Amino acid sequence: MTTARNMKSSFITENPSPFFHYLLSLSPLASLVNSPKKSPRNHKLCTPQNLSLYFLSLILSFTFLGFSILSFLLVSQASSSPCHLSSPSSPFSFPSLKSSEYSPINLVSLLSATSDDEDEPKLSNSVMVPLPVHGVVRNNVSEEEREFWEQPDGLGYKPCLDFSIGYRKASLKISKEKRRFLVVVASGGLNQQRNQIVDAVVIARILGAALVVPVLQVNLIWGDESEFSDIFDVKHFKRTLQADVRVVSSLPSTHLMSRQTIENKIPYDVSPLWIRNRFFRQLNEEGVLVLKGLDSKLSKNLPYDLQKLRCKVAFHALRYAAPIRELGNQLARRMWIEGPFIALHLRLEKDVWVRTGCLTGLGTEHDDIITKVRESQPEYLTGRLNMTYTQRRLAGLCPLNALEMARLLKALGAPGSARIYIAGGEPFGRNKALQPLMAEFPNVVTKEKLAQNGELSQYINKSSALAAIDYIVSMSSDVFVPSHGGNMGRAMQGHRAYVGHRKYIKPNKRSMLPFFDDTSISDAEFRSIMRKLHSKSQGQPEMRANRRDRDVIAYPITECMCKHKTGIF
């Protein structure tokens, strides 16, 4: 929101129009500004002609003054309108365009708008800006295809991170904290780590502690030893959060020898009060608190300011490191420039089949391999132990395989010529796992196919960096569809809503899978059922308040997005 002071400055420094100079020349003030000094003896002040000109200039001057005041008030009102995002510099003002309207040079300038190297961060410049959605301009497309590419109506909801006065007052002290330090060890895959980093910032805020740049635990499944600075832009992370918490790269020398008890037995759904009662005294006494195993432990229902802080971290502060960002943007442009595309997050990796307790659909040979791994490492199983595979599948606990995904996309109106970007790791079974999808949609692309001249070679065995590249490309897709829930699906759902309600299709697995197995229904009836089941799950605004256990990162309305409050841009 533009302050009165800024509005005043911009108003004063505007170039005066010729009409203004003309009025000024008629005004009595002109004698003080422009006229040379004359001898009093030769200057006749009170002639009738001079008096007439004097009063006429007074009237014109006051008229101009009135118009100026009126213009100032209109400018003030326009700049303070709620959630205003329509200025040319807004990252969310992209129209739906034909791909031919954007040259590669223009695309580079669009993507470079996401960078913000100023000392004072602007939230409008720190958010990831995807490439614009493509408008459906061809006349020879079916109604189903047109509906498939059509973007949801955002109903006027736009980003709105207006922190309370109390929060901002407390920030003056918390952002300068130098005695208490919080260290957090984040585990799991990239998007699981992102969730823990978000909650780490919130817990540091709750405890009034400085946050040490989070430690990324070595991933046991993929063996990724990447550090925070390998994946995320540390300088940007610190700068964006400088008004909320103090972030430091490492513990100061005065605290290196402090007692460092690792706390890893945190129950689920803990509140800010629980955090303070459990850790504040310990943090005061020892100066350092180390938390591990933080995944999904902090309550989803926090005070508004802390929910907004979650969004600020997830959508603004966690920007990927420059090399990852540049390569991800390059691959996104290569996909985008040829027209609209779909991003599928296919969860077909070996570890997913092991953890979910599901069968691959690739035959006995592949299913036996998964079963043996699961039996040798039962600790990886996250599905319900008392359910059979069939029960898990019908309950919606299994990923959609390539055949099921192909049938869903066709039923929803995706044309066979649609270009599809596959996000995710290498599928178990490789090409065999993707064959049913490629048979219906030949234009299937992966990051490995998009990359040129060894661009991905530096990220071999770096699963987090590869997942970040998938994230960047998927954000610029016209349609995003996950085959399973998971952390990336939830992150993409909220992030796509936050940057303009880009289409996000959430498969209603529990309701639709019985129809997949019913061979008695016709193709036309099957398409009608699928479209009806998914008519309200394609990226339309969903209120988090309807279900209080929802994560604000996946459902940013209404804590982080609003219609009538003051916007952040």
400-413 pLDDT, tens digit per residue, is 999 999 999 999 99
Q: Domain boundary at 316, 350, 370, which?
A: 316
Residue 123 in any domain: the answer is no
Structure tokens at 250: 């490492």
Give the CATH number, domain containing residue 251.
3.40.50
Q: How confident is the model at residue 531 (pLDDT cuts 50, 70, 90)?
A: very high
Q: Domain boundary at 316, 331, 359, which?
A: 316
What's the whole-number mean pLDDT along residues 149-170?
94
122-151 residue pLDDT tens: 777 888 889 999 977 667 788 889 999 999
What's the whole-number mean pLDDT along residues 540-565?
85
Helix and strand totals (H; E) in the chain: 24, 13
Residue 552 in any domain: the answer is yes
The alpha carbon of 432 is separated from its chain's Cα centroid by a whole number of angstroms, namely: 34
351-380 residue pLDDT tens: 888 888 888 888 888 888 888 888 887 766
Q: How confident is the model at residue 528 (pLDDT cuts 50, 70, 90)?
A: very high
- Based on the domain organization, do 336 and 301 belong to the same domain? no
- Based on the domain organization, do 271 and 405 belong to the same domain? no
SS (H, E, C) 7-46: HHHHHHCCCCCHHHHHHHHHCCCHHHHCCCCCCHHHCCCC
What's the whole-number mean pLDDT along residues 99-112?
36
Q: How confident is the model at residue 260 (pLDDT cuts 50, 70, 90)?
A: confident
- Domain total of the chain: 2
Residue 45 in any domain: the answer is no
- Based on the domain organization, do 374 and 514 belong to the same domain? yes
Give the torsion through C-alpha atoms of 377, 380, 384, 390, to 10 deg: -70
Residue 293 in any domain: the answer is yes
Residue 93 pLDDT greater than 60, yes or no: no
For 382-443, the DSSP string reads -S-TT--HHHHHHTT-S---HHHHHHHHHHHT--TT-EEEEESSPPTTTHHHHHHHHHH---
First to last CA, the chain: 6
For residue 376, the model assigns a pLDDT of 81
Residue 124 in any domain: the answer is no
- Based on the domain organization, do 541 and 427 belong to the same domain? yes
C-alpha–C-alpha distance, residues 444 and 406, integer Å: 12
> To the nearest whole percent, how much of the chain has pLDDT over 70?
74
- Based on the domain organization, do 276 and 417 belong to the same domain? no
**Residue 383: left if φ>0, alpha if ψ -120 to 50, beta else—which one?**
beta
For residue 549, the model assigns a pLDDT of 82
Q: Domain boundary at 282, 316, 350, which?
A: 316
**Quick one: 461 exposed, middle or buried, by C-beta within 10 A (0-12, 13-18, 19+)?**
exposed
Residue 331 in any domain: the answer is yes
C-alpha–C-alpha distance, residues 459 and 533, integer Å: 40
297-307 residue pLDDT tens: 999 999 999 99
- Based on the domain organization, do 382 and 255 belong to the same domain? no
* Segments forming the whole domain that contains residue 171: 165-316
Residue 403 in any domain: the answer is yes
Residue 27 pLDDT greater than 50, yes or no: no
Q: How confident is the model at residue 66 (pLDDT cuts 50, 70, 90)?
A: low
C-alpha–C-alpha distance, residues 352 and 463, integer Å: 14
Which residues have C-beta within 8 Å of that of residue 365, sequence separation ≥ 6?
A: none
Average pLDDT, the chain: 79
- Based on the domain organization, do 258 and 369 belong to the same domain? no
- Based on the domain organization, do 393 and 301 belong to the same domain? no
Quick count: other Cβ atoms within 10 Å of Cβ 555?
23
> To the nearest whole percent, how much of the chain has pLDDT over 90?
53
